[in-house]
Chain A
């Protein structure tokens, strides 16, 4: 398996399209950083307008590396599934398109091994993508904007909240958030891989993945009780932004944030289990379908 995984990673590393995702992330992060460096105060004025009378803030310190990373993650984690699909959706369909799939299948490796290796390679690509995001969005932002306490703006029910996390309580939250995002995006990778089994070029599975993510995201955001109860709990998109839970800090009886705490760890843990459940089911389905498939490409 290790030998096959090495081969798979070698092939991914040699494809130009692999680097499109990394370049896209770098470009978006750089644009964000440039814009906030140039005119971040206007953004803060706008965001803080509603709470300026009830909250004492040093706005000059509000825009810092940690805050920037949070803003960028909020934006990028919506687009990153597309970048993950770019590679994962090519896993089987790309081989079928090139004609190499029949050569792979005629080698003494099982189809189950092939699917598991493809999935592992797509997962590793996802991890690298998020590491790159961490380097550019977090560490580069810290270099450019410096480190300070972080403000989190949150809408809870009908009220807006601002939470402040001290700078010595942030880094672990980012590591945890990136870890969660890796699991969430691995669901997308598994879904793309599954769809790629049915196609002979990667365009179809990429588009299908994006459509499924969009449709499920829309459904996840519809606030109708019947959907809330019967549909949303089963949609992976309902849990994609669960990483934010690591930045929601618990407070004591006086409303003072407790350092190192999480407001709702059981909810995060449940979301993680559901996402992992999705991965297991989708990969199992991929193995089952691929093992029965006639290779006609």
Chain B
């Protein structure tokens, strides 16, 4: 499979702050590639470097097998992007905004093309309304129309669901899936929510403090055999003793009395056995080990252990 984006040893330093640190990753053709990290992890800085908004301190970026630094215009003409907020000209209407950015992308603009694009994001009936009257969700959809109007092969979306209501989030997800499955686009989407990436991406990377933590296929990284079960019982001490002498002892996590790691399919059996052992349960929560690890990044004061399943 051809690589669309190839980033190698990319770094960016702002004064004393190392925003991106020796980052390497590859996005293949047809991927929906999740770019995951907490706020301030370096996602937006990396995306800005991919779009030439920021110059790297070190490293190389190749897109469509061409060096970004020497083939900038050629590469950018085939990329559509929404960078953070979909900011557009508020004093212009949706049609004019779309027309301006379509013309800047170097394509032949027709009324039909623009209206089709607005139709695709559900804004055809608001074409002549000024953007300042739009809700956040409508602005986001118009931003995506702007990103797609020149039919790019690569779409880069930086936190596209930020500030959207649940319906807006679902609309954006569906749109990304359509872009990938029906139109064969390659999509790089950043987010600070693993649950969001899990739903739409086939490959992903997690970065923290500008460094790569892990990269791979979502299905493999979120393998259901690595489901973490947290149990809370009325008498946790007694529950721990009973579990330690049961057939579930092998699944207990070292150093964590009531936490087990197992295949997700075994969870109903575990609950049956806990009840059979007369353990009075307050709650049983399941999550993935990667999700737990990702959440821990925000709470361990910068000390990052390598991720291991």
Contacts and interface: CB of A to CB of B under 8 A. Distances in A.
B104 A10 contact: no
Interface string A189-207: 0000000000000000000
A117 to B, nearest CB: 11
B73 A105 contact: no
Given A103-B101, A294-B53, A108 B77 contact: yes
A106 B79 contact: yes
A99 B53 contact: no
Given A103-B146, A104-B104, A108-B76, A98 B89 contact: yes
A10 B93 CA distance: 13
Contacts of B87: 98-100, 102-103
Given A10-B100, A14-B91, A296-B54, A108 B106 contact: yes
Contacts of B92: 11, 14
Interface string B42-82: 00000010011111000000000000000011101101010
Q: B-side binding surface: helix, strand, loop or mixed?
A: loop
Interface residues of B, number: 31
Interface in A4-33: 4, 7, 10-11, 14-16
B242 interface: no
Interface in B103-131: 103-106
B83 interface: yes
Interface in A242-297: 292, 294-296
A16 B91 contact: yes
A294 B55 contact: yes
B103 to A, nearest CB: 6
A102 B143 CA distance: 12
B226 interface: no
Given A4-B104, A7-B104, A11-B100, A105 B51 contact: yes
A108 B89 contact: no
Contacts of B53: 102, 105-106, 294-296
A54 interface: no
Kindly state the interface size class of chain A when it binds its partner. 20 to 34
Question: Which interface residue of A15, A103, A105 has the most chain B CB atoms within 10 A?
Answer: A103
Nearest to A3: B103
Interface string A42-60: 0000000000000000000
A107 interface: yes
B85 interface: yes
Contacts of A100: 87-89
Nearest to A113: B73
Contacts of A103: 81, 83, 87-88, 101, 146
B88 to A, nearest CB: 6
A263 B208 CA distance: 72
A11 B101 contact: no
Contacts of B106: 108
A178 B302 CA distance: 64
Contact of B73 (A15, A110, A294, A295): A110
A107 B85 CA distance: 17
A64 to B, nearest CB: 42
A35 interface: no
Nearest to B81: A106
A260 to B, nearest CB: 48
A156 to B, nearest CB: 50
Contacts of A296: 48, 53-54
B178 interface: no
A289 to B, nearest CB: 13
A105 B52 contact: yes
B85 A99 contact: yes
A109 interface: yes
A10 B88 CA distance: 15
A106 to B, nearest CB: 4
A125 B122 CA distance: 37
B255 to A, nearest CB: 43
B100 A106 contact: no
Interface of A: 3-4, 7, 10-11, 14-16, 98-100, 102-110, 292, 294-296
The 3 A-B residue pairs with the shortest CB-CB distance in the complex, in nearest-first order: A99-B87, A108-B77, A295-B53
15 contacts: A4-B104, A10-B100, A11-B89, A11-B100, A98-B89, A98-B90, A99-B87, A100-B88, A103-B83, A105-B52, A106-B83, A108-B105, A110-B72, A292-B55, A296-B48
